[in-house]
Amino acid sequence: MSTIQTAAIDPSLQTTMNGNVTSKNAAQEAQDRFMTLLVTQMKNQDPLNPMDNAQVTSQLAQLSTVSGIDKLNSTVSSMNANFLAAQNLQSASMIGHGVVASGNSIALADGKSIFGIELPQAADKVAVTIRDAAGVAVKTMSMDAGKAGINMLTWDGVADTGATAVNGNYKFEVSASSAEKVLDAVPLSFGLVSSVTSSTQGAKLSVANIGDIGMADVKQIY
């Protein structure tokens, strides 16, 4: 039977493998340096002109401020991480849902399409022009009134000529006015969320007919 021999382990190797378990963070190191300097300063002060209480209090207040800022930064970082985790979880639940976001694309499928307009105020005239991939106008639509906010519209795929437009992606333009005043109308696209990408910058939704958008870009959820 062979004998297992033990060997002494170099302390430097232990430190390399296990790390320095007594290491301090930057705030603790700053506090230690400050206290060392303060004690040294008090030991070597002029007995005939000692440091007054106001000076000591001021320096301690500065240390407290630095320590407080470090703790605040840690708290904010923790809150941000929790927020991103919650946002990613919420975003994942949106897969398969329809969303509305800024965009000028219309997806036509079997005579069905959804799009929208966002108005800064109520309008008495609203016009929509739908164009094909070549930029040719295939459908013009008008409304006598539009409410302030989001107005959702549909297109059955019937062109101005009476023919049925082929399935595919189209672009549209919008214009609106109120008492002859031109309004800043925002075109809105509709699409289904197919996937979600998580990152340190927040969740990104991959939306058909729109592209990749952030949670803040979503106007409505269906």
* Cα gap 174→186, rounded to integer Å: 7
In a domain, 200, yes or no: yes
Paired tokens of 83? 């927020």
Question: pLDDT for 139-197, tens place per residue?
Answer: 999 988 899 999 999 999 999 999 999 999 999 999 999 998 999 999 999 999 999 88
In a domain, 142, yes or no: yes
In a domain, 21, yes or no: no
In a domain, 81, yes or no: no
Paired tokens of 27? 């705030």
Amino acid at 66: V
Number of domains in the chain: 1
Phi and psi for 21 in degrees, rounded to 5?
-70, -15
Quote the percentage of the chain above a pLDDT of 70: 61
Q: If we measure between CA atoms, which residue out of 135, 213, 122 comes closest to residue 173?
A: 135
Q: How many CB atoms lie within 10 A of CB 164?
A: 13
Q: Is the pLDDT of residue 93 over 70?
A: yes
Question: pLDDT for 188-214, tens place per residue?
Answer: 999 999 998 877 777 889 999 999 998
Question: Tokens 């910058």 map to which residue?
Answer: 201
Sign of CA dihedral 72, 78, 84, 90: negative
Question: pLDDT for 61-84, tens place per residue?
Answer: 666 676 666 666 767 666 655 666
Enumerate residues 6+ apart whose C-beta is below 8 A from 81: none
When pLDDT is averaged across residues 38-54 and rounded to a whole number, the result is: 62
Q: Alpha-carbon dihedral of residues 205, 210, 216, 222, nearest 10 degrees? A: -80
pTM of the model: 0.62
In a domain, 71, yes or no: no
In a domain, 116, yes or no: yes
- SS3 sequence of the chain: CCCCCCCCCCHHHHHHHHCCCCCCCHHHHHHHHHHHHHHHHHHCCCCCCCCCHHHHHHHHHHHHHHHHHHHHHHHHHHHHHHHHHHHHHHHHCCCCCEEEEECCEEEEECCECEEEEEECCCECEEEEEEECCCCCEEEEEEECCECCEEEEEECCCECCCCCECCCEEEEEEEEEEECCEEECCEEEEEEEEEEEECCCCCCEEEECCCEEEEHHHEEEEC
User: Can you give the CATH number for the domain in which 188 is found?
Assistant: 2.60.40.4070
In a domain, 196, yes or no: yes
Write out the residue range of the structural domain in which residue 184 sits. 98-221
